[in-house]
């Protein structure tokens, strides 16, 4: 490897180990590489500008804002109430409510942290009062939040679509089957836990109560229909859908539910901007990183090395999944996608993996990373909601992590599992 390659790989890794934020670590690694290569430092400024001038990037802050508006406007509570009337009387019913509500909320926000916060804030205390172990209650809220990156519209798929230059609409479709399979598995986990621990059932909702919940929740249920129907009906792009989702949430929260006030809007805008800034900063500086990686042929060399040393495609995919799982335990998942994107794409191309199928594999890995100890984003949100330690939630979540790995296995080795809903002749 050349000195520039060492700067971009070992230098970046060293800065991350020392605790530098990912965006700053990338920028410093690029700066050092530019000095070694005797390239004008203005290259970094140009890369920052070009990396942040992508129209699709607007979807990230907009979907995050939509999640904030939905939660503050009371729509997440409506979803929980509706799901409760359907399954709360079954064994593990209240835990199942968290999963079903997360499925619908994921189709609104596209974000794992937003889904975990919206569902967990309501259901972790309710589950604890109903007799569930508090660690399990937190772990099921975290696991349900993982549906956020899989059920469209998904921020993770938007980012991967930008990195891999693939159709975001087709990538959205590839996440539906893995997401629904994970949701079904989580329902089974809820049932097994409740039966094993003899958690008492809640009373069955009457028909009048169920109808009232549907009537009151109609605006929450309509949101994913508007967003996804508009995307696949060709009415607007995923980025425009994110804007429509914000406007919809704002109008419903202000004038229908009337739980949203103008006074709280600055705080909601600030929360979504803070999270979006972190993601977009990583993407912006990674543009320069990717250019230098391509110039040094790091990605292609590694792909050739894998092709020379690993002949079977299934073994190469298994190696990537293991590496991704280990990296996601200690590194930000979005940073992995953006920074390692060129290398991952080169490997997929080398082994002839369908690019949309590969996107489903990557984002399923990302979803697992959101809940994987020790630094999964959703784990920390679960800690804040439940008041439990990271160790306590980590011990409780391992059955769900194993379930996620089963879904990852199906997504990786059965292409039709992820590509089932793709249009014919794509």
Residue 156 to residues 144, 153, 168, 207, 369: CA-CA distances in angstroms? 16, 9, 10, 39, 12
The CA-atom distances, in angstroms, between 354 and each of 5, 17, 412 are 29, 34, 11
Q: CB of 26 within 8 A of CB of 285?
A: yes
CA distance 36 to 8: 11
Do 81 and 213 touch, CB atoms closer than 8 A?
Answer: yes
Q: What is the dihedral of CA 60, 63, 65, 67, to 10 degrees?
A: -140
In whole angstroms, how far apart are CA 209 and each of 86, 122, 140, 217?
A: 10, 19, 26, 12
Q: Which of 145-159, 232-246, 356-370 has the lowest mean pLDDT?
A: 232-246
Average pLDDT of span 175-199: 92
Q: 3-state DSSP: the chain helix, strand, coil percent, rounded to 5? A: 80, 0, 20
- What radius of gyration do the chain's Cα atoms show? 22
d(CA 99, CA 192): 14
Tokens at residue 324, please? 């991704």
DSSP 55: G
Distance CA(80)–CA(98), nearest Å, equals 7
Asked if 178 and 360 count as a contact pair (C-beta separation under 8 A), the reply is: yes
d(CA 192, CA 45): 54
**Model pLDDT, residue 217:** 86
Query: Tens digits of per-residue pLDDT, 79-107?
Result: 888 888 888 888 888 889 889 988 988 88
Angle at 21 between CA 238 and CA 319, to 5 degrees: 70
Instruction: Give the tokens for residue 173.
Output: 């479709």
Check if the beta carbon of residue 347 is closer than 8 Å to that of residue 301.
no
* Helix (H), strand (E) at residue 425: none
pLDDT value of residue 143: 93
Q: Rounded to whole angstroms, how far apart are CA atoms 226 and 223?
A: 5
* pLDDT score at 12: 75
Tell me the torsion sign for CA atoms 322, 328, 329, 331: positive
User: Cβ(138)–Cβ(125) under 8 Å?
Assistant: no
For 254-268, what is each residue's pLDDT tens digit? 988 888 888 889 988
pLDDT digit string, tens, across residues 266-314: 988 888 787 777 767 776 776 677 667 666 666 566 666 766 777 788 8
Most confident of 48-57, 106-115, 239-248, 339-348: 239-248
Averaged confidence pLDDT in the chain? 82
More confident residue, 291 or 240: 240
Tokens of 8: 């971009």
317-374, pLDDT tens digit by residue? 888 888 777 777 656 667 778 777 877 888 888 888 899 999 999 999 888 888 888 7
Question: Around Cβ 143, how many Cβ atoms within 10 Å?
Answer: 30
């Amino acid at each position: 490897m050349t000195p520039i390659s060492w700067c971009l790989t070992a230098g970046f890794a060293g800065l991350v180990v020392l605790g530098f934020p990912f965006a700053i670590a990338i920028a410093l690694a690029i700066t050092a590489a530019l000095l070694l290569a005797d390239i004008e430092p203005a290259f970094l400024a140009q890369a920052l500008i070009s990396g942040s001038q992508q129209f699709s990037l607007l979807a990230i802050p907009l979907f995050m804002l939509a999640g904030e508006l939905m939660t503050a406007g009371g729509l997440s509570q409506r979803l929980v109430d509706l799901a409760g009337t359907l399954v709360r009387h079954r064994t593990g019913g209240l835990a199942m409510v968290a999963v079903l509500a997360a499925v619908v909320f994921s189709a609104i926000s596209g974000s794992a942290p937003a889904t975990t916060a919206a569902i967990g804030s309501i259901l972790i205390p309710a589950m604890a009062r109903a007799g569930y172990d508090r660690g399990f209650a937190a772990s099921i809220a975290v696991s349900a939040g993982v549906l956020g990156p899989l059920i469209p519209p998904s921020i993770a798929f938007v980012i991967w679509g930008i990195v891999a230059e693939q159709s975001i609409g087709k990538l959205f479709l590839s996440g539906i089957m893995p997401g629904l399979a994970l949701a079904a598995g989580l329902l089974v986990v809820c049932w097994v836990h409740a039966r094993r621990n003899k958690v008492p059932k809640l009373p069955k909702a009457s028909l009048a109560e169920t109808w009232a919940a549907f009537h009151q929740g109609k605006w929450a249920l309509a949101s994913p229909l508007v967003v996804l129907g508009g995307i696949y009906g060709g009415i607007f792009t995923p980025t425009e859908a994110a804007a429509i989702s914000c406007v919809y949430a704002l109008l419903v929260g202000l004038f229908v539910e009337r739980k949203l006030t103008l006074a709280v809007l600055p705080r909601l805008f600030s929360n979504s901007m803070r999270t979006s800034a972190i993601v977009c900063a990583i993407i912006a500086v990674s543009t320069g990183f990717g250019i230098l990686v391509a110039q040094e042929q790091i990605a292609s060399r590694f792909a050739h090395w894998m092709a020379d040393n690993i002949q079977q495609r299934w073994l190469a995919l298994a190696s990537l999944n293991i590496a991704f799982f280990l990296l996601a335990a200690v590194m930000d998942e979005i940073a992995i996608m953006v920074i390692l994107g060129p290398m991952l794409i080169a490997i997929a191309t080398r082994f002839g993996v369908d690019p949309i199928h590969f996107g489903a594999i990557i984002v399923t890995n990302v979803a697992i990373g959101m809940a994987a100890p020790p630094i999964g984003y959703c784990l920390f949100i679960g800690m804040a909601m439940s008041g439990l330690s990271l160790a306590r939630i980590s011990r409780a979540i391992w059955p769900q992590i194993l379930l996620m790995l089963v879904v990852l296995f199906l997504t990786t080795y059965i292409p039709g599992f992820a590509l089932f809903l793709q249009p014919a002749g794509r």
